[in-house]
Chain A
Amino acid sequence: MSSLTVSNEQATSAASGKAKAIQPAWVRILHWVNAFAMVLMIMSGWQIYNASPLFAFTFSKSITLGGWLGGALLWHFAAMWILMVNGLIYLALGFATGRFRKKLLPITPEGVISDTRAALTGKLSHDDLTKYNSVQKLLYAGVIVVGVLVVLSGLAIWKPVQLQWLTALFGGYPIARYVHFFCMAAIVAFMLVHVALALIVPKSLRAMIIGR
């Protein structure tokens, strides 16, 4: 710790008692496994999309995974197990440990508006990484919901007969495809913002890697 530049706040909190990890080990492990699986799912998903595009564009082959539809499907249906099992563990622990409740709630419109304003004017404080600001709460809670939706819509288009109740819930097979696509788009948009902000506030990235 001593060789790293430590902010005053962290130094005092460390001095005040036992230094607690900003991000506990289980969060860090599940976070990076999820990131890995998500990247595999998205890149192979783009290749699958290219076989029958929903819109007037396709994804450049340089950013897809699998080489062709068959290869992409193999990746997609392999990485889905990592994503799903990892995600279920995350949800279970998130609820069981109270992390979701403590870290992500409450989310109030006033808080989101004032923190957005503060962020855009460069006045948002990142002194205490253990507390998420309202914008973070909203985005993290939101991407968890979208993550659940992307898996459910994926199951709906994978098994429109065996899980037809689920497919029907999404408005039928063709609409479920669009839902799956837009969930992906939302996750990619989240990732762009998330990675950019993590690089702007590198100590948050450090906390997600080494815990402190």
Chain B
Amino acid sequence: MARKRSLIIPGVDKQLLVRDAAKAMPDLTRRRFITGGASLGALTLLTGCDVVDSFSAEEMLKQVSKFNDAVQAAMFNPNALAPTFPESMITKPFPFNAYYDLDEAPTVDGKTWKLEVRGLVENKKSWTLDELYALPQIKQVTRHICVEGWSAIGSWTGTPLRDFLKLVGADTRAKYVWFQCADKDGYNSPLDMMTALHPQTQMTFKFADEILPRAYGFPMKIRVPTKLGFKNPKYVISMEVTNDYKGGFWEDQGYNSFSGS
């Protein structure tokens, strides 16, 4: 009884308390959580911390996102293959998707383009498209899942990234392979080494058996069926094997960095 009594605050009108509590959830959430999208001070409710400005709450969400990176890395099974589909299930037309319109997509000259290979690799030579085309390729029909929620099944053909990493003598104990792209404003994205070595992670040169069209990332895309779409960089111009977390175009804006499927 005593324990129960202590929950009642002396001097507070209980009827009013109850009435206020009734209104509390929707109103509080509305007032505290939404305005402008950034006033995230609401976690004071939970923690009792003195979170006055939105920055701290954002900082906390970032920490949880890092924790989620670790959880997803632990969940990642290097032998689990993404489901594959018959060619009859390929989505037609396959959507073009970027943070710009198609007419702003990079136009890369395949004759002069070279893939720059940097970082913790034995052979830092740059690769021409013809040299890359000469590598053994395999075809995969998998589901591309966008961070926005939509998905589409496509057919991608190319060289397993892990074969290429072996070929250039990459230090596969390094943490990341970091890709830079020719997109306007400079797209880039880090890929954790575990995923880079996954058998389905691919340096892609063809879509639906045709040379990769400009819309889908000519001359080279990194197809990662175990990641969300934004972790599948297009128009790749360089890869760097590194232990440093160099951030990424979307990752820096708040998308979860691991973003595994």
Q: B134: which A residues are within 8 A, CB to CB?
A: none
Map CB proximity to B onto A67-89 as digits: 1 under 8 Å, 0 otherwise.
11111011101100110000000
Looking at B57-65, B124-132, B180-188, B212-220, the stretch in contact with chain A turns out to be: B57-65
| Size bracket, chain A contacts | 35 or more
Complex: chain B residue closest to A49, CB-CB: B149
**B22 adjacent to A162 (CB under 8 Å):** no
Give a binary string over A175-212; 1 marks a CB under 8 Å from any B CB, 0 the rest: 00100000000000000000100110010011001111
Whether the Cβ atoms of B64 and A70 lie closer than 8 Å is no
* Chain B CB within 8 A of A35 CB: yes
Flag whether B36 is at the interface (Cβ < 8 A).
yes
For the complex, what is the distance from the CA of A36 to the CA of B29, rounded to whole Å?
9
- Contacts A70-B254, A74-B254, A174-B151; is A161 near B261 (CB within 8 Å)? yes
Which stretch, B73-81, B105-113, B157-165, B235-243, touches the partner chain A?
B73-81
Contact of B64 among A52, A78, A161, A205 (CB under 8 A): A78
Please determine whether B147 and A67 come into contact, CB atoms closer than 8 angstroms: no
Instruction: Check A209–B254 contact: CB distance below 8 A.
Output: no
Chain A residues positioned under 8 Å from B88 (CB to CB): none
A residues in contact with B65, CB < 8 Å: 74, 77-78
In the complex, what distance in Å separates the CA atom of A4 from the CA atom of B17?
A: 12
Interface residue count for B (Cβ, 8 Å)?
A: 53
Binds B, one of A58-66, A94-102, A108-116: A58-66
List B contacts of A49 (CB < 8 A): 149
B68 touches A77 (CB 8 A): yes
A164: Cβ under 8 A from any B Cβ: yes
Q: How far is the CB of A156 from chain B (nearest CB, A)?
A: 11
Question: Inside 8 A of A162's CB, which chain B residues have their CB?
Answer: 75-77, 80, 226, 260-261
Q: How far is the CB of B82 from chain A (nearest CB, A)?
A: 5
Q: How far is the CA of A159 from the CA of B72 in the complex (A)?
A: 9
| With known contacts A70-B254, A162-B76, A162-B80, A177–B225 Cβ distance under 8 A | no
- Contacting residue for B34 out of A65, A157, A168, CB 8 A: A65
Is A35 a contact of B25 with CB atoms below 8 Å? yes
| Contact yes or no, B21 A68, CB < 8 A | no
B40 — which chain A residues lie within 8 A by C-beta? Answer: 75
Q: Are A202 and B18 in contact (CB under 8 A)?
A: yes
Q: Closest CB of chain A to B261's CB: distance in Å?
A: 4
Q: How far is the CA of A21 from the CA of B76 in the complex (A)?
A: 45
The reply to whether B33 and A36 contact each other, CB–CB distance below 8 Å, is no
A51 surroundings in chain B (CB, below 8 A): 147-149
Partner of A211, one of B4, B15, B34: B4
Which B residues, 5 to 27, have Cβ-Cβ distances below 8 Å to chain A?
7-8, 14-15, 17-19, 21-22, 25-26
Give the interface of B toward A (CB within 8 A).
1, 4, 7-8, 14-15, 17-19, 21-22, 25-26, 29-30, 33-34, 36-38, 40, 45-46, 60-62, 64-65, 68, 75-77, 80-83, 143, 145-151, 225-226, 250, 253-256, 260-261
List 23 contacting pairs A-B, 8 Å CB cutoff, sorted by A: A36-B46, A51-B148, A52-B146, A52-B150, A63-B34, A69-B148, A71-B37, A73-B256, A74-B62, A74-B256, A75-B40, A75-B61, A159-B75, A160-B143, A161-B81, A161-B260, A162-B260, A164-B83, A168-B83, A202-B22, A209-B17, A210-B14, A212-B4
In the A-B complex, the 5 residue pairs with the closest CB atoms:
A67-B37, A70-B254, A51-B148, A52-B149, A52-B148
